[in-house]
Amino acid sequence: MTRPPTASHCKVNTTLVATALQQNTSSEQHISAEPVKTVVMTYQLPLSEPKVFDGNPVDYPRWALSFENLIGKKPLSDSEKLDYMSKYLGGKALEAVNGYFLLQGETAYVEARAVLDARFGDPFTIAQGFRSKLEQWSAIKPRDHDGLQKFIDFLLLCKTAKVCIDKLSFLDNYEVHKQILAKLPEFITRQ
């Protein structure tokens, strides 16, 4: 969802362009176009925002990183960050921190983030989320190409997440491998 530039965007663009021009003006008044081009290209990117996190632990690491990069690191007050947080939470996650939205103190945001991290960001909880999703996955029918691709994508996500979440080592278990094979169509496991 791309928002049209506001007056503040234009002011920032002008300031950054002017700064870039000043930094690249040599004694011969030679101006390099590269910094200006970089600034202009940066501000042409569509505005990004975090997805709504509903409480699925599998999605928490990605949401937390996105929220931190797009909102948490911005020069906003904690009460403003808390307001944004209310916009990007839903389901169990929103219920977990709902009381913090009533508080007026600056620590409410920090405490709400701590609750989210403890409840949904714990490596064991994330690993349990992966395990549940794997166990609940339906067996893939022989001509279900989309279903097979989704399962492969999920297994690749597991493999990638295993690099940084040591609790996903359960994926190396022989019984889990049998579970995975049981989800695949027979023509794949027969070979």
Q: Backbone dihedral region of 29: left (phi > 0), alpha (psi from -120 to 50 degrees) or beta? A: left
Residue 17 CA to its chain's centroid (Å) = 31
DSSP 149-162: HHHHHHHHHHHHHH
* Amino acid at site 23: Q
pTM of the model: 0.68
Please state the rounded mean pLDDT for residues 165-170: 84
pLDDT value of residue 5: 46
pLDDT tens per residue across span 32-83: 677 777 766 666 667 788 899 999 999 999 999 999 999 999 899 888 999 9
Domain residue spans of the chain: 7-44, 57-121, 125-189
Give the pLDDT confidence score for residue 23 in this predicted structure: 54
Give CA–CA dist 156/159, Å, rounded.
Answer: 5
Residue type present at position 184: L
φ/ψ of residue 55, rounded to 5: 110, 5
Residue 168 confidence (pLDDT) above 80: yes
Q: What is the mean pLDDT of the chain?
A: 81
pLDDT, residue 30, reads 57
Q: Which residues are within 8 A (CB) of 107 and not within 5 positions of it... i.e. 6 or more apart?
A: 78
Assign residue 91 a region: left if phi > 0, alpha if psi is -120 to 50, beta otherwise?
A: left
Q: How would residue 167 be classed by pLDDT, with cut points 50, 70 and 90?
A: confident
The answer to which of 64-68, 101-105, 118-122, 145-149 has the lowest mean pLDDT is 101-105
pLDDT at 75: 92
